[in-house]
Amino acid sequence: MNKVVFHGFTHYPGNIKEPGSVYSAGTHYNLKNIWFPKTEPFNNYLSRVSFILQEADFYADVLYYYGDRTPNFTGHKNSRFAVGPGYDYEVINTEIFTRLTVENKKLKLPSGAIFELLYLEPEKEMHPDVLKKIEDLLRQGAQIIGEKPLRVSVRDDNETKQLIDKLWDKNNKSGFVITDATPLGLLKKMNIQPDVSYPGFEFNDFDYTHYKTNGMDFYYIRNTRNHWVSKNVAFRQQNKIPEIWNPQSGETDSPDIYSLNSASVSIPVSLPPYGAIFYVFRKGENRAKYDQVTSLNQSDSRVFTYRNRTYILNDGVFELNKGSQNYVFDNHISMQPIDGAWELFFPGVFDTPEKVILPELTSWTESKNEKIKYYSGTATYKKTFQYDINSAFKKEGQKIFLDLGELSKIGSVILNDVSLGIAWTKPYWFDVTDIIRPGDNTLVIEVANTWSNRLTGDAITGGNYTDTNINATNIPGLNKVYVPWTQVPLIKSGLLGPVTLKTVNPVE
């Protein structure tokens, strides 16, 4: 997928009041969503990812022909078919299949993409045009794996029936379809190493997709887990150096910890919960300061490349290697909590108080005031805190990050009248090195949640704060109540923290 379309967005009636109407299909992404005014960074993220994937060509080792049955669906990645850990595949239908060519015994799509082998979806019957195309591909040296079909579809003639026996005959000198091997087994036999590999990659902590254009390779790596994952990842690249392209910020960086060999480039990769990033490879001069980093106290190594410097985001003692040389790096992150009371301001809707003082950060849903407990909307946190900036700066390249901890669901942040941006995905942090100052600092955070809590509150208390169509339908036969809102658990909302200032030193 390289283009996102929000179904139903353009058809939203402008005169419907909050929280708007809900349709049983599509994505509810519209102006009536509380968080919609804060979606610009998310949209920019989608745009950057889509642009790269549209400009480049998909790359994988295996082509998967999923047949021509009706109905027919490919399913999610690695569901109906999978090659194996570290390998990817492209799915093609009959129309594309019949346009395949062979170049140097490799399969080639009309787009120019090259693949090592072709896997045929097991089918009881196969179209004559597909069989004839298989014969043509085999004659040119293509590697094809698949089960032998029982019969021919569409035309039941003896000539085509005989073609099935011929194509699956191991004694056929023009080539035959392989039945006693898997795509993974054949790739290993061909000595084709995984495109991406790391310790424990069979558990799929990282997923990836690989694109190529103009001599550059783009690996879009994503963390499949709801926690930090750090691995030393080997990319099947030769004579190229890595760059890091961040689709959230639009910034690019050059890592200085990686190792090159004749088969791959190995890089320490650390991603936050469900985080994703591009690793890009192109020709260039090797700029690595170190080959690898290893934790000496059994913790992971959360390596973070920022502004072309390397930081480690967790405390510990780490060993850095360069050839036969070893260096020990004792990493300590200085933390200053921003605790104590906060001011919380509401915009004067749903009978909420204008202002409350929070002794500590907690979810709105824990409030004894039902107007806050069931509140859906935006609210603004304000706090003035002290910072001794002189005691923190000790090394060139040192950075100070404002870490919001947890928030639900999205928040815009201002420090000392300077907008830091919008926190919409973990980790909720910002570089404040050039903004924070000695003495008093003023922090303002506007947080938006979802409509769910207000709808639950209306259902429980009998309130009528929402003018909504989501409890009604004009579709005959459907229950008038879509969701039993009284039974829907409340969603934690607001700034949950802990909010801290973290000072990190670069790896030297």
Task: Please give the structure tokens belonging to residue 327.
Answer: 């260096």
Average pLDDT over residues 426-455: 96
Separation of alpha carbons 435 and 387, rounded Å: 12
Nearest to 37 by CA among 281, 347, 247, 484: 347
Cα→Cα distances 244→220, 251, 421, Å: 10, 8, 21
The predicted pLDDT at position 136 comes to: 96
More confident residue, 243 or 67: 243
Q: What is the pLDDT of residues 300-336, one digit of tens each?
A: 899 999 999 999 999 999 999 998 899 999 999 999 9
Q: Which two tokens stand for residue 24?
A: 């049983």
| 414-441 mean pLDDT | 97
> What is the predicted pLDDT for the residue at 23?
65
pLDDT digits (tens, 9 = 90+) for 84-108: 999 999 999 999 999 999 999 999 9
| pLDDT recorded at residue 73 | 77
Q: What is the DSSP string of 39-57?
A: -HHHHHHHHHHHHHHHHSE
**Residue range(s) occupied by CATH 3.40.50 in the chain:** 61-189
CA distances from 3 to 53, 90, 266 (A): 9, 17, 30
Positions of CATH 2.60.120.260 in the chain? 336-504
Spatial distance between the Cα atoms of 336 and 441, rounded to a whole number of angstroms: 13
- Stronger pLDDT, 17 or 277, i.e. the higher one: 277
Show Cβ contacts of residue 273 under 8 Å, excluding neighbours closer than 6 positions: 223, 225, 226, 227, 228, 426
Q: Which positions ≥6 away from 356 have C-beta within 8 Å?
A: 343, 344, 346, 369, 372
Q: What is the pLDDT of residue 388?
A: 83
Whether pLDDT at 409 is above 70: yes
Residue of 8, 24, 34, 16 lying closest to 455 (CA atoms): 34
Give the pLDDT score at 20: 72
- Using omega within 30 degrees of 0 as the cis cutoff, is the peptide bond preceding 498 cis? yes
What mean pLDDT is predicted for residues 178-204? 95
Residues 47-58 have a mean pLDDT of: 95
Is the pLDDT confidence value at 21 over 80? no
Read off the pLDDT of each residue in 399-415 and give the average, rounded to a whole number.
Answer: 97
Residue 22: the pLDDT is 66
| pLDDT category of residue 75 using cuts at 50, 70 and 90 | confident
What radius of gyration do the chain's Cα atoms show?
Answer: 28
Q: What is the residue-averaged pLDDT of the chain? A: 91
Select the more confidently predicted residue: 183 or 67. 183
Checking if the pLDDT of 83 tops 80, the result is yes
- Residue 282 is predicted with a pLDDT of 96
Contact 294, 199 (CB under 8 A): no
Return the SS3 of 487.
Answer: helix
Nearest to 200 by CA among 316, 300, 60: 300
- Over 90: is that where the pLDDT of 4 sits? no
**Dist. CA 353–CA 364, nearest whole Å:** 13
pLDDT value of residue 7: 76
In the structure encoding, which two tokens stand for residue 116, read together?
A: 């090592």
Assigned architecture for domain 196-332: Sandwich (2.60)
For residue 213, what pLDDT is reported?
94
* 482 has pLDDT over 90: no
pLDDT at residue 472, as a whole number = 56
CATH number of 336-504: 2.60.120.260
Q: Does residue 478 surpass a pLDDT of 70?
A: no
Confidence check: pLDDT of 266 > 80: yes
φ/ψ of 420, rounded to 5, equals: -90, -20
Per-residue confidence (pLDDT) for residue 393, from 0 to 100: 58
pLDDT digit string (tens) for 364-395?
Answer: 999 999 999 999 999 999 999 999 876 555 67
Torsion, Cα of 180, 182, 186, 187 (10° steps): 180
Q: Is the pLDDT of residue 112 over 90?
A: no
- Mean pLDDT check: name the lowest of 12-21, 156-165, 349-358: 12-21
Nearest to 10 by CA among 18, 311, 26, 150: 26
pLDDT tens-digit series, residues 148-182: 998 887 766 677 788 999 999 999 988 999 999 99
The answer as to CATH 3.40.50 being correct for domain 61-189 is yes
With bands split at pLDDT 50, 70 and 90, how would you rate the model's confidence at 295?
A: very high
Q: Are strands 117-120 and 62-65 parallel, antiparallel or unpaired?
A: parallel
**Higher pLDDT, residue 470 or 396:** 396
On the 0-12 / 13-18 / 19+ scale of CB atoms within 10 A, 172 is middle
